[in-house]
Amino acid sequence: MSDQYFTEQQTPYLRLGVRVVRELHAEQTQYQSLKVYETTELGRMLVLDEIIQLTTSDEFTYHEMVAHVPLTIHPDPRTALVIGGGDGGVVREALRHDSLERADLVDIDEAVVRIGKQFFPSVSAGYADPRSHVYIADGIVHVRDHPGEYDVVMIDSTDPIGPAVGLFRADFYRSVYDCLREPGLFTQQIGSPFYNGEFIQQTVAAAREAFPVVRVYTGVVPTYPGGLWCYLLGMKGELGLVPNEARADKVTGRYYSAAVHRGAFCLPPFVASLVNGEK
């Protein structure tokens, strides 16, 4: 940080600087460095290993798209699992679906959950709901130990460096497949089509080793590199991509709507090429 700016090295050749008022918290957890800033205009900001995870001004775009797309595609979601996402944003959005009887969250790092509750009350709001359950554990082990238990799995991890590296591999996707009840599906953020093209290709290929139906949709997160972000979606069976309109209308937020849901699968041709494994 220099000159009142927190600067993220977004890629080897791009930097984003966010003006900050002050650092509210900093610690080295067992798994990563964790910082909380009060920014000048973007609200509070959570930073893990020097990468911006969320700001309170724009977290809605990411959390709504990770949660509502799979939950409105599923015909009747009762049980959901969030892997990572200790800040609570995905749990908050998931629990807006009345059909959900249980939303489990498993984050390997207790600090993210603790800091979420302490510094991001609007994000961690879902933890007050009795349907939510927090496990501080390894998501890879958790999915292995809970076969056939979830209708929807939402993987809200950090980038594939550090603690999250195992969450983008075929053997993990096979465990996710097994922990889903028919007809289950999962979603996961997989990066920028502009700057992480090769990684997206590898990850889609890995998911295809485990899931018969794999799709990609996009959304925008303004503080992520390039803005445009890809989400992976894997289904045990062919549920289609169309949201249940009534339930989508009920959870329509600031970013998500049934129309945005449909538009998110209209991939720009250069993104479709990546997903189809073309160079």
| Chain residues that interact with its own copies, rule: CB under 8 A | 5, 7, 11-19, 39-42, 57-58, 60-61, 192, 194-195, 220-228, 252-257, 259-260, 262-270
Q: What is the identity of the amino acid at 158?
A: T
State how far Cα 154 lies from the chain centre: 6
Distance of closest approach, residue 90 Cβ to its own copies, in angstroms:
18
Instruction: Tell me, yes or no, if 156 is annotated catalytic.
Output: yes
In angstroms, the CA 223 to CA 58 distance is 8
In three-state secondary structure terms, 10 is strand
Nearer of residues 29 and 252 to its own copies, judged by Cβ: 252
Which strand ranges, in their side-by-side order, compose the sheet holding 213-220? 132-136, 102-107, 79-84, 150-156, 180-191, 228-235, 213-220
Nearer of residues 63 and 169 to its own copies, judged by Cβ: 63
Residue in this structure with the two tokens 């993220």, named with its chain if needed: 8
Distance of closest approach, residue 191 Cβ to its own copies, in angstroms:
13
Residue in this structure with the two tokens 């977004």, named with its chain if needed: 10
Distance of closest approach, residue 220 Cβ to its own copies, in angstroms:
4
Nearer of residues 106 and 260 to its own copies, judged by Cβ: 260
Nearer of residues 67 and 108 to its own copies, judged by Cβ: 67
Distance of closest approach, residue 180 Cβ to its own copies, in angstroms:
28
In angstroms, the CA 196 to CA 67 distance is 22
Distance of closest approach, residue 127 Cβ to its own copies, in angstroms:
25
The catalytic position among 87, 156, 171, 249 is: 156
DSSP code string of 39-102: ESSS-EEEEETTEEEEETTTHHHHHHHHHHHHHHHSSS--EEEEEE-TTSHHHHHHTTSTT-SE
Nearer of residues 18 and 112 to its own copies, judged by Cβ: 18
Phi, psi of 102 (to 5 degrees): -155, 135
- Active-site residues, by number, are 156
